Structure 1
């Protein structure tokens, strides 16, 4: 199997080769969810996959009809996914008692300073989260504080004596607030906390039952999350699945084993990986790729594929795309990254700057600028300049 064929299939699975109709925003989110970090990045991901969509459409689905929801999920990050699939994106990823929860690996130092076992802290936090059934908290730091104070009623004196000591990881934070921050992801996966409508650029937190007006149906669908991963990113491995979800090795292996009968091992130019059998059988029926230029936002789900070299072979260029902070958007031609882009706003206008890794013809450059203009219109701001940096 050629890597070009494998990447073409991933692109097809993620609706990047043929956009979905405007009324299928929820379908687009179901593919592999949209990690919304930094806030708003999910909007560009939807735009790349859904025809003629606008931001009002997104607001309607997330805030008005609530057919989408936002909660800490993949890698412990804010993730937007269909509300009906809470059992897939939440319940399935909740760790068992003998597994380290997603995002909680660094907790051990804070727990040691508190002289508390992780299980004791988590159980107290679960009880504290009940206050979110009747109150809304604005701001993440405030949420940590409110829940830490509520936890104190459920903790032993030995822990309380250390609770207000300075955090080991952040200024203006206590040890107990730090513990809350690490363990909140597990509470999110258990359906105890989620994000509501932002207020003045600040995140808003409450319980799903308060948001929806009834208990959330988050009955775990563990095989479903593996299937979605393999459909979007296969051929891949259990280690790739662990990185994508943020699960511990033990939890990832447990979930991975559930889909054993549904997948097949394949060789992609000497590299072994697993695909869903149904996807493997469809390989020869994929639609032909077009040469149209696409602009993907930073942190687009397509960029989460395990084999970065398949879409950008140059290691030096890879460092410019996948950064720890300040990642750019990418210019995609067929299934290859041919450049990166940024569009800072100056005097009310977006000033687009495109750095190319591959040469593009004048017609292709014009296509990039036309796509950039449409992207900025989606973001409701005019395009000032579209400059190519060599």
Structure 2
């Protein structure tokens, strides 16, 4: 077993995720797309690329036809390489009813209301979405149409919408299985059928599913099966039985045992110095790791980084998540408020402000005002 300390693990992850900007200016070359880059309506994926790419500003992922946006891991919107997306779809069907219930976060009452096992519910919804979404449709229009053709137990009354419609998470999990992606930059969310349509995904491909876990371990390792399962959205029992790769090396991080793919060991043993300063968005791949205590050891600081609602961006400085940041737009000016959680040198603060200038350019604003708190 390989023994390392936390500093070495952090240095490895920073390098593995391309935060040294050593991948040039081509977003498709970034290793984070091996797993996918989560997005939200504030453009978090664009800022994640900005933190990793040369060039000013970095290209918007929605403008690159080599990338596709879809509900994928945990039903969250992620950008993926378009050339690999059809293979990824084959990793997303549930393995069995228990796996499906875990991915849906369904309780016994939900299963009783559905009147069918959870995996059958996902397949039923996927077939209905495939039949209904034959053209570009807003999420609301697709939801309304599919609710009319699915069994009553797969829909519910929504107080916010004041309407009965398909369970939201059920729709998110079923949509990629139906061969449907999302239109980048659209609000509300808009569904787009893939052309040509792939076959309806009913059963997972074990080899492709193991590659998803391998990518998680390569980007977020050393990590445990529990942590990988948390990212995928299933349980440890399901993941270890169906998706856990067999070409792994055991690693101890200050007594905490994890694993990493064998081909990642050379970088883990000799990572470059993590002397970079980057502004990361709330959904950045680095903070998607499930071992938050390794990323941010101080419990009080973790509460500042991961909030119940409205996470801030984070300041990565010299191997640590050393602060948070938020940006608001006032006309043509971008106001960025930075909060240090750890002591920051004058050099690190200056570098963070330089990164804010890049964010300003990416957001299309003309002037920047930075405030430290």
Q: Give the TM-score category using the shorter length.
A: 0.7 to 0.9
Larger Rg: 1
Is 1:230–2:217 an aligned residue pair?
Answer: yes
1:10 corresponds, among 9, 13, 37, to 13
- Alpha-carbon distance between aligned partners in 1 of 2:251 and 2:241, rounded to the nearest angstrom: 21
Q: Distance in 2 between matches of 1:83 and 1:278?
A: 25
Q: Quick one: structure 1 residues 306 and 120, their matched pair in 2 at CA, closer, same or farther if it must change by over 3 Å? A: closer
1:12, distance to aligned residue in structure 2 (A):
0.9
Cα distance in 1 between the residues matched to 2:26 and 2:114 = 50
Q: Does 1:194 align with 2:181?
A: yes
Assess, with a 3 A threshold, how the Cα gap between structure 1 residues 58 and 304 changes in structure 2: closer, same or farther: closer
Partner of 2:95: 96
Q: Secondary structure at the match of 2:324?
A: strand
Alignment map for 1:118-137 (pairs within 5 Å): 118=118, 121-132=121-132, 134-137=134-137
Moved over 6 A (4+): 216-219
The residue matched to 1:385 in structure 2 has which SS? strand
Query: Secondary structure of the equivalent of 2:163?
Result: coil
Alignment partner, residue 190 of structure 2: 204
Cross-structure match for 1:360: 344
Shift of the 289–55 alpha-carbon distance from structure 1 to 2, 3 Å rule, reads closer
| Structure 2 CA distance for partners of 1:239 and 1:117, relative to 1, 3 Å | closer
Q: Does 1:384 align with 2:371?
A: no
Q: Is the 8 A contact 1:329 1:341 kept in 2?
A: yes
Shift, 1:24, TM fit: 4.0
More helix by share: 1
Distance 1:289 1:143, change over 3 A: same
The answer to whether 1:21 aligns with 2:24 is yes
Residues 332-356 of structure 1 show CA distances to partners (whole Å, capped at 9, x for unaligned) of 1122011111111123311111111
Alignment correspondent of 1:320: 304
- Is residue 178 from structure 1 mapped to residue 166 from structure 2 by the alignment? yes
* Structure 1 position 46, deviation (Å): 1.1
In terms of mean alpha carbon deviation, does 38-47 or 316-325 score higher?
38-47
Partner of 1:75: 74
Structure 1 position 215 matched with structure 2 position 198: yes
Sort the Cα spacing of 1:325 and 1:127 in 2 relative to 1 into closer, same or farther, 3 A. Answer: same
Q: Which runs of 5+ in 1 are unaligned?
A: none
Deviations 1:67-92 (A, max 9, x none): 21111111210111112222553321
Q: Which has the higher contact order (CA 8 A, sep 6+)?
A: 2
Distance 1:131 1:322, change over 3 A: same
In 2, distance between residues paired with 1:343 and 1:205?
Answer: 29
Shift in Å at residue 192 of structure 1? 2.8
What is the rounded CA distance, in whole Å, between the counterparts of 1:363 and 1:27 in structure 2?
Answer: 27
Give the alignment's Cα RMSD to 1 decimal: 2.7
Give the Å deviation of 1:108: 4.7
User: Using the alignment, how far apart are the partners of 1:231 and 1:249 within structure 2?
Assistant: 18
Return closer, same or farther for 1:135/1:112 CA change in 2, 3 Å cut-off: same
Q: 2: distance between equivalents of 1:82 and 1:347?
A: 34
User: Equivalents in 2 of 1:235, 1:367: separation in Å?
Assistant: 29
Q: Does the 8 Å contact 1:26/1:81 carry over to 2? A: no
From the superposition, tell whether residues 86 and 48 of structure 1 become closer, same or farther in structure 2 (CA, over 3 Å): same
Counterparts of residues 48-63 of structure 1 (less than 5 Å): 48-52=51-55, 54=57, 56=59, 58-61=61-64
Deviation at 1:32, TM superposition (A): 2.5
Cα deviations across residues 12-58 of structure 1 (Å, max 9, x unaligned)?
A: 11001233211243534423211113452111111111111646553
Q: Is the 8 A contact 2:6 2:294 kept in 1?
A: yes
In 2 relative to 1, CA 366–54 (structure 1 residues): closer, same or farther, beyond 3 Å? closer
SS, match of residue 99 in structure 2: coil
Distance in 2, matches of 1:314 and 1:118, equals: 39
| SS of residue matched to 1:93 | coil
- How far did residue 280 of structure 1 move? 2.0
| Structure 2 gap ranges (5+) | none
More strand by percentage: 2
Residues 4 and 310 of structure 1 are in contact (CA less than 8 Å); yes or no, is this contact kept in structure 2? Answer: no
Tell me which of 30, 34, 39 is aligned to 1:31.
Answer: 34
Alignment size in residue pairs:
365
CA-CA distance at 1:272 after TM superposition:
0.9
